[in-house]
Structure 1
Amino acid sequence: MKILLLGEYSRLHNSLKEGLEALGHEITIVGCGDKFKKFPVDFSIYARMCNNNKIANFLFKSIRKVFGLDFEKIEKAIRYYLLLPKLKDFNHVQLINSDALETYPILSRLLYKKLFKKIKSRSLLICGDEVPVVDYWFQKELKYSVLTPYFEDNSLENQFRFPLKYRKENYRKTFHWLKENCQNLITSDLDYEIPMQKLGFTTTFIPNPINTNQIVFQPLENIDKIIIFLGINRLSYLKKGIIYFEKALEIIQKNHADKVEIIVTENLPYNEYILQYNKAHILLDQVFAYDQGYNALEAMAKGKVVFTGAETEFLNMYQLHEDEVCINALPNENKIAAKLSFLIEHPEKIFEISKNARNFIEKEHHYQTIATKYLACWEA
C-alpha cells in the first residue's frame, strides 16, 4: 500500500512509518515536525518565513497582536496547498488530529476536501487534545485530567489555549466533518479511548507503536548515584503537572542529596532531549494521565523507570500489578517523593521495573505488530 500520514506531534507517525515500511509498504509523512522538537517529515509545511526570518517574525507578530491574524497558520496552509499536486495515488490517508495542518479550521476543511477527492480511504487518529476528548474533560467525571489546573484556576486560560480551542465552533465543525468523511476513528491510549467511549463514539483502540529494534534496551549496572531526569516542555508544563515533579525533587534533594543526581532540561529538540535522558535511571514524564504517552513508552523501551500515567484502568486492561512496569504519578508531590524515596532506598526495585518495562513494550507496543493492527483497521 501507498500511505499518507498527515501531521506529527510525538513521533507516533514516524514509528508507524517504520513498522509499515518493514512490512513492505510505501509511507509519506507531511507535517511541521512539532516546532522545537523537530520530528522528521518527508514534506514539511513548517512556517519557515514566519519563524526563521527575524524581520518577518517581528512584523507578523505585530499584525497578530493588533489584528488577530496569524500568518504562521496561513503560511502552513499555503505550503500544504503547494504540496497537493505531489500527494496523489495514495491508498490511504491518516490524520494525526483534526488540526493536522495547524491552520485555521476553515482552511483545514477546504484543504482536506481537496485531498479527500484523491484518497477515498481515510482515518482520523485521536492521540491528543480533540473535540470530544475536551468535551468529556469538561464533564469532570474523571478524578483528574490535563484540564484540572484550569478548572482550579480559570485565570490560566491563556496557558490552556491549545486544548480549549477545541471548544470553539470552527474546530468542532472540522472534527464532525472529518468524523463523517473518515471510515475510522483510532485511539492511541486510554486517555483518549475512555472519553470517546463515554461519549458513545465507535473507535478502534490501537496502542502506540514503539520501534524496539531502533530503541535499544539499556540494562542497568551497579548504581552509584541514582540519576533522575525531568525534561520540561513549557507549552505543556501545566497540562502535564510538572509542578508536582519539581516540588517532589526539592524534597528528594533535601533528603537524599548524597544518593541522587538530578537533571532538569527545558524545551530541547527531540534528539538533544534523548541524549540527556539516556543517562537517567528514572524519568519523570507526566502526572495528569491514565495511560502512557509516547515519551514515556520510548523511555520504558530503554529500561527507564518512568513516573507517568498508570491508573487502574491501565492495570486492568493489561492485567498488571501497581508499579509493575512504570510508576503511577499522582498530583501530589509528597506521594511522588515517597515513591522516589522508596526506589532510592531499594535500588533492586529499579532493576526489576526496568526489565518489566522493556518486556511490556515488546509485548504490547512492538512497532511491526502495531503496524499490522493499523493495516487491519484501514482495510476492514
Structure 2
Amino acid sequence: MKILLVGEYSRLHNSLKEGLLALSHEVTLVSTGDAFKNYPSDILLKRKFDSGILKKIKVGLYRLFGLDITSLSLKNQFFQQKEQFKGFDAVQFINESSFGILPKYEKEIISFLKNNNKKLFLLSCGTDYTSVKYAFEKKFRYSILDPLFEGKVSEKDFYPALKYLNPEFEDLHKFTLQNVKGVAASDFDYAIPLQGTEKYYGLIPNPINTKKLQFQPISSKGKIIIFHGINRENYYKKGNDYFEAALKKILQKHPSKVEVITVENVPYLEYIEKYNSAHILLDQVFAYDQGYNALEAMAKGKVVFTGAETEFLEWFNLKEDEVCINTLPDVDYLVKKLENLILNPEKLTRISENARQFIEREHDYISIAKKYLEFWKEA
C-alpha cells in the first residue's frame, strides 16, 4: 500500500511508519514536528511567527482582522507541495486538527486529500472534540479538565483544550467524520469517549519500536533517581503540580535515599536521553492509559507513574502495579506509592522487567502496523 500519515504527536506516526516500512509498504509522513519536540518528518511544514516580535504582530492581526498568519503560512506550505499528497491508498490524520491551524484551513486540506486519494482515516490521539466534550460534561471519574473545575486555572489558560468545544471546531469534527471511512483510538483516554459513536473502529495500541529503545536493567544500589519532565504549557493538564507536591514531601522524608531530576520543555531526543539514569519517571496524573512518552520509558525499563486504570488493566489482563503505577490526583496517594518503591527497591526491578515485556508483547511496532492495515482494510 501507499500510505500518507498526516500530523505527528509524541512520535506515534514515526513508529507506525517504521512498522509499515518493515512490512514493505510505501509511507510518507507530513507534519509540523509538534513544536519544540522536533519529531522527524518526510515533509516538514514549519510553524512561523510563534515567538518574539513576530508573535506580537500575529496576535494583533488576529484580534483586528481574524487573520492567523501562522495558519495561513502552514496551509500555503502544504499546497505549495500538493503534488506530493496525491495518489495514496490510505491517508490517516493523527487528529481532527492535525496541523493545529484554523479549522477552515484544516477543512481545505482534508477536502484536497479526499479528492486526490482513495480513503481517509482518523486517529483520536490528543485532545479533540469528542474527548474534551466528554471531560467537560464530567463523564470521566477525573479528567484533564479537573484543574479548571477546581479553579486552579482560567478558561483562557485551558484554551488549547477548550477550543475544541467552539462552534468552528465542532464543525471541523463533523466535517472530518463525514470524510473519513473510520476512526480509531490510540489509548483508553480517547477510546472511552468514542464508545458507541459513528464510524468508531476500536482501540489500536500505540506502536513502539523497541529496537530503538534499549532496555536498561535497574540497579537497587545507591539513591533512587526520580525523573520529572515538565511541559510548561500543559503543567496543570498533566498534573505536574501534584507530582511537585509529592516530590517535596518525599525529599523531606527521605533526603538520603532519593535524587530528583526535573527538566522543562526540551526536544524529544534530549528528553529521552535525560531520563536514562532514572529509576522512576513521573508522566501524567489525569490519565486512564499510558501516553507515548510513558510507553517509551517503560520500554527502557523505567517504572512509570502514569495512567493504568481499571479499563486498561482489564483489557490487557494485568494486575495493579504490574507494569506501571497508576496515578491519581491525590498527593498523599502519590507519596505512598513512591515511598513503597523507595523502601522496597526490589519492586522496582520486578516492575521494570514486566514493563519491558509488556511493551514487547502488546505494543510491538510491526504487530501494531498490521493492526492499522486491518483497520484501513475493514473500516
TM, length-normalised to structure 1: 0.96
Distance 1:3 1:173 in 2: 26
Q: Report deviation, 1:66.
A: 4.9
* Aligned 8 A contact 1:285 1:307 in 2: yes
**Hey, what does 2:248 align to over in structure 1?**
250
Q: Which residue of 2 aligns with 1:318?
A: 316
**Uncovered stretches (5+) of structure 2, i.e. residues with no partner:** none
Shift of 1:84: 1.1
Cα distance 1:168–1:58, how it changes in 2: closer, same or farther (>3 A)? closer
Query: Equivalents in 2 of 1:61, 1:272: separation in Å?
Result: 31
The whole-number CA distance in structure 2 between the counterparts of 1:306 and 1:297 is: 9
Q: Cα distance, 1:372 vs. partner?
A: 0.3
Partner SS state of residue 158, structure 2: helix
Moved more, 99-108 or 287-296: 99-108
**Kindly tell me: are residues 237 and 85 of structure 1, through their superposed partners in 2, closer, same or farther at Cα, counting changes over 3 Å?**
same
Trace 1:1-380 onto structure 2 (pairs within 5 A).
Answer: 1-48=1-48, 50-51=49-50, 56-64=54-62, 66-153=64-151, 156-197=154-195, 202-380=200-378
- The answer to which of 243-252 and 144-153 deviates more is 144-153
Q: Specify the SS of the correspondent of 2:118.
A: coil
2-side partners of 1:200 and 1:314: how far apart?
23
Secondary structure of 1:244's aligned partner: helix
Task: Tell me if structure 1 keeps the 8 A contact 2:226–2:279.
Answer: yes
State the Cα distance separating 1:307 from its structure 2 match: 0.2
Question: Does the CA contact (< 8 Å) of 1:126 and 1:185 recur in 2?
Answer: yes
* Alpha-carbon displacement from aligned partner over 1:345-379 (angstroms, at most 9, x marks no partner): 00000000000000100111000000000001101
The whole-number CA distance in structure 2 between the counterparts of 1:345 and 1:223 is: 12
After TM superposition, the structure 1 stretch with the greater mean CA deviation from structure 2, 74-83 or 224-233, is: 74-83
Give the CA RMSD over aligned residues. 1.5
State the SS of the aligned residue for 1:337: helix
Q: Quick one: distance in 2 between partners of 1:269 and 1:122?
A: 30
Letter aligned with residue 10 of structure 1: S
* SS across alignment from 1:203: strand
Measure, in 2, the Cα distance between the counterparts of 1:39 and 1:339: 33
Q: Give the deviation of 1:88 after TM superposition.
A: 1.7
What amino acid sits opposite 1:45 in the alignment? Answer: L
Measure, in 1, the Cα distance between the counterparts of 2:26 and 2:139. Answer: 42
How far does the alpha carbon of each residue in 1:141-179 deviate from its partner, in whole angstroms, 9 at most, with x for none? 221011111122285211211111110111111111111
Partners of 1:335 and 1:44 lie apart in 2 by 43
Letter aligned with residue 5 of structure 2? L
Stretch of structure 1 that moved more, 369-378 or 39-48: 39-48
Equivalent AA in structure 2 for residue 296 of structure 1: A
Q: Is contact 1:288-1:330 (8 Å) kept?
A: yes
Q: 2:31 corresponds to which letter in structure 1?
A: G
CA pair 3-265 structure 1, distance change in 2 beyond 3 A: same
- Is residue 196–residue 203 contact of structure 1 (8 Å, CA) maintained in 2? no
- Give me the whole-angstrom Cα distance separating, in 1, the residues matched to 2:97 and 2:167: 13
Relative to structure 1, is the Cα distance of residues 155 and 352 closer, same or farther in structure 2, using a 3 angstrom cutoff? closer
Which AA in structure 2 matches 1:44?
Answer: L
Asked whether the equivalents of residues 136 and 199 of structure 1 are also in contact (C-alpha less than 8 Å), the reply is no
Q: Which consecutive aligned stretches of 4+ in structure 1 deviate over 2 angstroms post-superposition?
A: 54-70, 198-204
SS of corresponding position for 2:207: coil
- Bigger drift between 169-178 and 251-260 goes to 169-178
Report the Cα distance in structure 1 between the residues aligned to 2:70 and 2:204, rounded to whole angstroms: 32
* Contact kept in structure 1, 2:201 and 2:375, CA below 8 Å: no
How far apart are residue 51 of structure 1 and its match?
A: 3.9
Q: 1:128, CA displacement in angstroms?
A: 1.4
Checking the alignment, whether the CA contact within 8 Å between 1:184 and 1:204 is kept in structure 2 is: no
Percentage of identical aligned residues: 49
Tell me how far 1:202 sits from its aligned partner.
Answer: 2.6
Report Cα offsets for 1:167-223 as digits up to 9, x if no partner: 011111111111121111010111110111065663321000000111111112342
State which drifts further: 147-156 or 364-373.
Answer: 147-156
**CA shift at 1:257, angstroms?**
0.8
Aligned to 1:278, what secondary structure does the other structure show?
coil
- Segment of structure 1 superposing worse, 261-270 or 159-168: 159-168
Paired residues in the alignment total: 378
Q: Secondary structure of 1:223's partner?
A: coil
